[in-house]
Amino acid sequence: MTFESPPALMVGWCLSNAAVTVVGGGVVAERRVHALLQADARVKLIAPTLSNTLQQLAHTRRVHWRGRRAKPEDIVGQRALVVAIDDSIAARHLASLARDQGVLVHVADDPEWCDFVFPAVYQEGDLTIGVASNGRAPALAARLRDHLARALPPGAAAAVTRFGELRDNVRRAWPGKQQMQRRMTWLTKVAKAMSWAELATLPKERNGAPNPLRITDVDPDLPVRSEREGSVTLVGAGPGDPDLLTVAAHRAVRDADLVLADRLVSPEILSLVQGRLFVARKLPGAADHAQAELEDLMVEGAQRGLRVVRLKNGDPMVFGRAGEELDRLTHAGIPATVVPGVSSVLAAPGLAALPLTQRGISQRIVISPGHAANDGPLSVPRFEPKTTFVFLMAVRNLPRLLQALLEQGFPGEAPAALLSDASLPNSQTIQAPVQSLLEAARDHQVCPPAVLVIGDVVLALANQKSNQPSHSESMNRHQETPFLGSPTDSSSQRDLFPRKAMVS
């Protein structure tokens, strides 16, 4: 590889049980031998003398050592030759003999005589990260490798392994070449949508493999209480902080035999459950399946005489599919009640001290979803002055949503705020005019769940100096999949408003 050479193609070379000769007994040879052994190669080591570490490896027969100088026959039948000796003429001579026989060569510190390079590697389980510098700055590559390894999200390696199992399972569920596109699309969505913690702990089937089509952790052996009539209560869990549960919700959750919770319900609230608990896992493209499964379980639980609580984030009647569930219960002849909850529509602005209506500024509120079901066409409200617009489920779809709003007549300079993780320790408030909100959200790595508020009422935020008090210090909620990265700051309220927007 010469100075001007193009970058090497990074590939993973499968060397399990392949014969590789390493010539040299010093520190460099030592590193190469370690890398080769990690790949499970059969290493023949040729050197009159060895470093202490290499002596150990020879002693324990992890490498086959010949205590002499290399000969041409050492190359015959090898998959690769690695030369790490000081005598560059002898090294090139060996490499040239090897190339003549079609053996790939690597001469340390001699890029021209390298058919392959050894990147600086970080390895954990099935995860391998390699950093290569085109043979020009190996020391820096190693430093970068360490930097990247430290920056890995916790559970990354476990997530890789579980995702591999999930992929095998998807192949079995949707086999054949004709379903390849479907498999790839689904897996790509899951990889983007789930947090690292969720990926690292994907639920497993009895056969030990995560199943993409079985989304809920459902226990089929529900108890039966034939002495009484079962019931279902749709309960609002509020935005996350247990302090924002109503007294009725708290009682219903505590007294339930079976709680069927949505994914967004916080662990602190789930820890109040004393009966059985199932948490829905609405994976991308499988939300309808998960919903149907939850509804089946809700009906089945009630028919077995259980007090079933369907626990939903915020208020159950706001974007919570409560209507469908009530219909299903009516058809099944099961009595249902609803315990309203504190909706994020109100809680997020409230906790940020952002009034949704204000005399002379805004006299009505329009609440809309920020995305379209099943990635269909997005329908957004038209802009109206003196109105506050609240969008839920907007973060992942933010670029498309903001574009659609501008097309519907929203002024680019309209004040907007993204209120994420309201009532939770990572809560964050980002303000920017509509036209620069996307950039601000990216800069601050805003994560779902978040409420987007647009309207002149947001200007009130810009005038506030202090942070909101943080809620529920003990809460340690699972981390949502980040919007273009991981959250770095917590409990912060930033004023991103350019001056001209503040006075507009």
Ligand X SMILES: C[S@@+](CC[C@H](N)C(=O)[O-])C[C@H]1O[C@@H](n2cnc3c(N)ncnc32)[C@H](O)[C@@H]1O
Cite the active site residues: 262, 282
Q: From 202, 259, 215, 210, select the one nearest 233 (Cα to Cα).
A: 259
Among 195, 343, 362, 429, binds ligand X (CB under 6 A): 343
For ligand X, which is the closer residue by CB, 43 or 322?
A: 322
- 239 near ligand X, rule: CB under 6 A: yes
For ligand X, which is the closer residue by CB, 81 or 440?
A: 440
For residue 271, the cross-strand partners are none
For ligand X, which is the closer residue by CB, 135 or 238?
A: 238
Choose the binding region for ligand X from 95-103, 128-136, 294-302, 318-326 (rule: CB under 6 A): 318-326
Choose the binding region for ligand X from 166-174, 292-300, 415-423, 487-495 (rule: CB under 6 A): 415-423
Angle at the Cα of 348 from the Cα atoms of 345 and 351, rounded to 5 degrees: 135
Does residue 114 sit in helix, strand or coil?
A: strand
Choose the binding region for ligand X from 124-132, 135-143, 331-339, 342-350 (rule: CB under 6 A): 342-350
CB 94 within 8 A of CB 81: yes
CA distance 99 to 80: 9
Does residue 314 sit in helix, strand or coil?
A: strand
Residue nearest to ligand X (CB): 314
- 451 near ligand X, rule: CB under 6 A: yes
Phi/psi for 10 (5° steps) reads -80, 120
Choose the binding region for ligand X from 20-28, 198-206, 290-298, 339-347 (rule: CB under 6 A): 339-347
- 311 near ligand X, rule: CB under 6 A: no
- 350 near ligand X, rule: CB under 6 A: no
- 356 near ligand X, rule: CB under 6 A: no
Among 75, 82, 450, 501, binds ligand X (CB under 6 A): 450
Residue 330, classified by CB atoms within 10 Å of its CB into exposed (0-12), middle (13-18) or buried (19+), is exposed
For residue 83, the cross-strand partners are 23, 107
Among 422, 434, 446, 496, binds ligand X (CB under 6 A): 422
CB 216 within 8 A of CB 293: yes
Q: Which residues contact 83 (CB under 8 A, 6 or more apart)?
A: 22, 23, 24, 70, 91, 94, 95, 105, 106, 107, 108, 113
Among 318, 402, 441, 454, binds ligand X (CB under 6 A): 318
- 421 near ligand X, rule: CB under 6 A: yes
Size (the chain), residues: 504
- 449 near ligand X, rule: CB under 6 A: yes
Angle at the Cα of 277 from the Cα atoms of 272 and 282, rounded to 5 degrees: 115
For ligand X, which is the closer residue by CB, 78 or 420?
A: 420
Give the gyration radius of the chain's Cα atoms. Answer: 30
For ligand X, which is the closer residue by CB, 162 or 310?
A: 310
Cβ of residue 303: shortest distance to ligand X, in angstroms? 26
Give the pair of three-digit tokens for residue 226: 């034939």
Cβ of residue 338: shortest distance to ligand X, in angstroms? 12
Peptide bond into 448 cis (omega under 30): no
Among 135, 240, 242, 433, binds ligand X (CB under 6 A): 240
Counting residues that bind ligand X (by CB under 6 A) gives: 26
32's enclosing H/E stretch is helix 27-38
Give the pair of three-digit tokens for residue 100: 């003549």
- 25 near ligand X, rule: CB under 6 A: no
Among 319, 383, 389, 483, binds ligand X (CB under 6 A): 319
H helix and E strand count, the chain:
16, 18
Question: Hey, which residues between 29 and 68 contact ligand X (CB under 6 A)?
Answer: none
Question: Hey, which residues between 263 and 292 contact ligand X (CB under 6 A)?
Answer: 264
For ligand X, which is the closer residue by CB, 15 or 392?
A: 392
CB 388 within 8 A of CB 364: yes
> What is the contact surface with ligand X in residues (CB under 6 A)?
239-240, 264, 312-315, 318-320, 343-345, 348, 392-393, 419-424, 448-451
